[in-house]
Structure formats: structure tokens, C-alpha cells
Amino acid sequence: MRNGAGVRQSHAIYPGSFDPPTNGHLDVIARAATVFASVTVAVVVNPQKRSPFFSVDEREEMLRRCTGAYANVRVAHFRGLLADFVSRIEADVIVKGLRVVSDFESEMAFAHMNRSLSNVDTMFLMSDSSYSFVSSSLIKEVFLQGGEISKYVPDVVLEFMQQKRPAHGRK
């Protein structure tokens, strides 16, 4: 991406399931927004995941509300290959967060595959250490067992989750 003066401006894509978005995701988005000229947060529409906790629309809505303060962040969704979507929106770089060393093993293969398919590199941001154990799946498990999750998700997400409780929860 180039600005009016022909100067290169990096457009990053931050893909994920975001089911639901966590404070760890938000931390990566906030930091990416300071490094790159624009950031597209891209929710994957994954037909293999039979019963996601939140619909794609809900995930996009939560992300929009959590990232409204960042003028250079937009939220989108995509189906199929990330590499194809990266090419379609002309992103320059894929951003991923790394929480623990073991994340790197799978992410390295994804990064090589995505670069091979789309010629776009992946850049990794280390998740803040305070979020190293926070994942969407763990948040859902703790929530559904009645545990306290307010420390780990933005307020908007907490509200959306509480609305789901009668359908999904035990309380």
C-alpha cells in the first residue's frame, strides 16, 4: 500500500477465530496499530468448527466495539484460505501473537505456507506475559463452569458472554 506521496505504508492483517476476542488479542491489535499504517482484523469463517460459541457477526461486532478507538483498525471476515484473502485486500504482512514457545512450532509452518502461497511474510508479536495463558478456548471453559473471566476479556465481550449464559451455561 502507498500513500499519496508514493511512500510505502504497511497494511497488516491480523487473522483469527476470535471466539471470543480476549485481552490478549486486544493487546496484539493495539501494538500492531502503532507499528503498521493500517490493520485489518480478520475473523475466519470456519465451517469445520461446527458449533462456535459466537457467530461471525457477533465476533465482528465485539471486535468493532473493542477497537473503535483505533482509527487505523478495521474488522472484516474471510472464508477459505488466508493467503487468498491477503492477496485480495492487498495486505503487506500477516501479524500473529505468540504466547508461549510451543505456539511457534505450528505458527512457523503456517508462516512458511502463507509465504509460499501469497509471498507475504508473517511477523510475530510476543504477547504480553500477563496474557501468556489466556486463550479463547480456556475463557469459554472457565466461563461455562461459572468461573470469573472479567480479567481476561474486554467489558464488551463479557456482556456478550453473559447474554449467552442461558443457552450455553450451567448457572
The residue from 38, 127, 136, 140 that is catalytic is 136
Contact flags string 33-52 toward ligand PNS, x per CB under 6 A: -----------x--------
The residue from 59, 99, 127, 140 that is catalytic is 99
Residue 161 φ then ψ, to 5°: -70, -40
Q: Is 99 a catalytic residue?
A: yes
**Interaction with ligand PNS in 77-96: which residues (CB under 6 A)?**
81-83
Q: Which residues pair with 8 in a beta bridge?
A: 2
Q: Is 49 a catalytic residue?
A: yes
Sheet holding 38-45, edge to edge: 73-79, 38-45, 11-16, 93-98, 121-126
Q: Are 80 and 51 in contact (CB under 8 A)?
A: no
Task: Please report, as a single letter, which amino acid is at residue 105.
Answer: E
Judged by CB under 6 A, how many residues of this single chain contact ligand PNS?
10
Return d(Cα 61, Cα 66) in angstroms, integer.
9
**Interaction with ligand PNS in 95-154: which residues (CB under 6 A)?**
110, 113-114
User: Binding residues for ligand PNS, per CB under 6 A?
Assistant: 15-17, 44, 81-83, 110, 113-114
| Residues taking part in catalysis | 25, 49, 99, 136
